[in-house]
Amino acid sequence: MRIVGRDLHFAYDGKPVLTAVDLEVGEGEFCVLLGRNGSGKTTLIYCLAGLLSPQHGSVTIDGLDMSRATRNDIARRVSLVPQEHADIFPFRVLDVVVMGRTATFRFAQRPGPEDYRAALRVLVELEAEALAERNFNRISGGERRIALLARAMLQAEGTLLLDEPTNHLDFNNQHRLLDKIKRLCREKGTSVVASLHDPNLAARFADRVVMLADGRVLAGGTVDRVMTASMATRLYQTPVRRIETHDGERLFVPCLSETGAAKADSEEAGIRRWT
């Protein structure tokens, strides 16, 4: 197992956010975290990235105990694509990507031609080399995600953590981004943990799903085992139907309208519709 989280507990100011969370992700596996807003997805990702220290439990990545490792050691193994990217200086995309090399630089060191070449190579791999000279603040949200993904890949290809990577992306870009990440898993053996809000994207791209509810693991395992209508209904606390298309694609549909809710109610008796 590349990523192992054991019995993780985390609390902000005494308010528990994660409780007894276990998580395992193997080499080349794409693990998706699902859960409602405030269910602890971001906190879990930050604990895995070593940015937050769980009050109890342990995180091991590539055999490295995160509580003992230095920032630099962690950064060479684990890369993160954060959720919010506030406006920064109008750096070129290439300058943003090359920062993925930060962990390898000494006090006075700056990126050299070799680092820029490597940064460019990653952009080429992601078919985004046209972005290299553009102003990071002036490209689209989807392009920014690609640029940040490139930075993360340059930093560490082994373990990639993504906090809601599909936020603010259009329909097409959501699928293209996840497809690229999935290819990384297949071709480079990258282990990925990504939080998503759309169960359909999870069903389509994930190898493994962890459902978080109020900081606890509601269910975890392979897509086939976890992604059922009843689990989705419990997770989102709203009636959810699963529709299977003729070519085997599974679609999850919430039933909020009068008719839909009625249908779902008949399928899933005794569920809470609203919290």
Distance of CA 228 to the CA centre of its chain: 21
The CB-of-15 to another protein minimum distance in angstroms stands at 17
32 or 93, CB closer to another protein? 93
CA distances from 126 to 96, 183, 207, 235 (A): 15, 10, 21, 33
- Taking Cα atoms as reference points, which of 256, 259, 224 lies closest to residue 239? 256
- The neighbouring-strand residues paired with 212 are 35, 217
How many C-alpha atoms does 234 have within 13 Å on its Cβ side?
A: 13
The CB-of-78 to another protein minimum distance in angstroms stands at 8
The CB-of-117 to another protein minimum distance in angstroms stands at 7
Separation of alpha carbons 128 and 116, rounded Å: 15
List the Cα angle 176/182/186 in 5-degree steps: 140
How many C-alpha atoms does 218 have within 13 Å on its Cβ side?
A: 24
Separation of alpha carbons 80 and 62, rounded Å: 16
Three-state SS for 135? strand
Strands 191-195 and 30-35: parallel
The CB-of-77 to another protein minimum distance in angstroms stands at 10
Q: For binding to another protein (CB under 8 A), which residues are involved?
A: 49, 51, 71-72, 74-76, 78-80, 82, 86-92, 94-95, 99-100, 102-103, 105, 107-111, 113, 116-117, 120-121, 123-124, 129, 132-133, 135, 137-138, 155
Q: Which two tokens stand for residue 37?
A: 């807003």
111 or 239, CB closer to another protein? 111
23 or 75, CB closer to another protein? 75
67 or 109, CB closer to another protein? 109
152 or 217, CB closer to another protein? 152
80 or 169, CB closer to another protein? 80
- Indicate the residue type of 42: T
The CB-of-265 to another protein minimum distance in angstroms stands at 42
The CB-of-112 to another protein minimum distance in angstroms stands at 11
The CB-of-75 to another protein minimum distance in angstroms stands at 3
190 or 233, CB closer to another protein? 190
List the Cα angle 74/76/82 in 5-degree steps: 70
